[in-house]
Amino acid sequence: MINRELRSIGKALPASARAHNRSVVLQQLFGSGPGSRAELARTTGLTRVTVSAVVEELSAEGFVTDLGLAQSEPGKVGKKATLVGLSDQHWQLASISLTNEGVLTGAILTLTGEVVHRHSEAGRLPAGQTGLDALTEFCRRVVQTADHRILGVGVSSPGIVSPDGVVEEAPNRGWHDLPLARDLTDALGVPVLVANDANCAALGEFTFGGADGSGLLRLVIGYGVGAGLVSGGVLLRGGRDAAGEIGHVTVVDERDDDEVLGAPIMCACGRRGCLETLLATPALRRAMAGLDTDEARQRHLRAVGQRLGRVLAPVVATLNITELVVSGPDDLLRGPLLAETRATIIARTLPRSHRALSVGVSRLGDEGALRGAAVLVLSDRLGIA
């Protein structure tokens, strides 16, 4: 899913027409719910003959099903149309999130994104090969709870992740050039898709959280800090798959004389003063625990928010971001931290850049990365996003 339209629109080349037509029909059913074949032809722009052939093919594969006759509209005469919709009787998705340090989260979902089984195991994932082994066993336990065939497994992982699911660098996990998608596919016997957790959160916000995706920056604050970007309906990964790695931008250096934030702290990446050392949940919790008055805590959160705003202002101006959606510890984000972030962005950008900017906490919360991991499977296997 590198820099492409998440939703299939427009005409396709003849060589890809079949896949395109399937994707268009499935996307319409996913986004708008059940409809008749005539309605699908009208809303997708495909001919009725094409829609009928696609629906028949998808039905034979267990992806769609007939739902019976539509209710009659008042005053309308004639034969009732038969509705078709996505089937929940043949296929399910598995989703895994590694975003929250200390908790492994998994779910089994229907093709429409409804969670039917949820799994959570406390305990920090060990680093290196031991962590991979533990993750593999957790994925196996999640997959075994499915009621139907598993279409694929989506994994939301911290770090820089290539389009083919190689975790190129995840300092907090001790993973470097780890072919995570390949290793899990071999172990589980089903297709596995892996993407950066902030990118997954952005996909979740776009598909399930109501974001319009014209200019979305989805910030994930957990054990680390990362951002996912969707612009014009396109997930931006960058030239080397590292777009959104703002957690390792230096925001405090030795030249700073900041009595609130103090001296730069060593980061997991090996440098000092990264945004992650101020904004990651453990860093925020430690700072709050070390302050003895509410006034001091509020002052610290404003200072962190200002540094975050300095990092994000050029991004907002460059990409004309209109939605900044954040997930993390609500008790620390809501209030002075995000208020100062927004104020700093506004102070450092032209009115044209921030006029439509909204800043807020995600309605999906930590669920965003888990949902986005499911979108990886829907997009890769069915062309749905």
What whole-number distance in Å separates Cα of residue 112 and Cα of residue 364? 16
Closest listed residue to residue 26, CA positions, set 62, 1, 2: 62
Is 305 found in the same domain as 280? yes
pLDDT tens digits, one per residue of 41-67: 999 999 999 999 999 999 999 999 998
- Rounded distance between C-alpha atoms, residue 198 and residue 209, angstroms: 14
Confidence at residue 2, expressed as pLDDT on a 0 to 100 scale: 35
Same structural domain, 116 and 190:
yes
Mean pLDDT estimate for the chain: 89
pLDDT band at 156 (very low <50, low <70, confident <90, very high): very high
Out of 86, 119, 136, a domain closes at: 86
The verdict on 37 and 171 lying in the same domain is: no
Is 207 domain-assigned? no
One domain for residues 353 and 223: yes
Q: How many domains does the chain have?
A: 3
- Are 333 and 250 part of one and the same domain? yes
Nearest to 218 by CA among 234, 229, 233: 229
Q: Do 348 and 253 belong to one domain?
A: yes
CATH of the domain at 192: 3.30.420.40
Q: How many CB atoms lie within 10 A of CB 295?
A: 9
Measured between alpha carbons, how far is 5 from 255 in angstroms, rounded to an integer?
44
Tell me the whole-structure pTM to 2 decimals: 0.87
Residue scoring higher pLDDT (147 or 100): 147
pLDDT for the residue numbered 171: 79
Instruction: Count Cβ neighbours within 10 Å for each residue of 103-141 and write b for 16 or more, e otherwise.
Output: bbbbbbbbbebeeeeebeeeeebeeeeebbebbbebbee
Minimal CA–CA distance to 142: which of 160, 169, 180, 116?
116
Kindly report the CATH number assigned to the domain that includes residue 78: 1.10.10.10
Domain assignment of residue 344, yes or no: yes
Residues 222 and 248 reside in one and the same domain: yes
Domain region containing 378: 91-202+368-382
Same domain, 75 and 102: no
240 with 353, same domain?
Answer: yes
> Cα(106)–Cα(120) distance, rounded to whole angstroms?
6
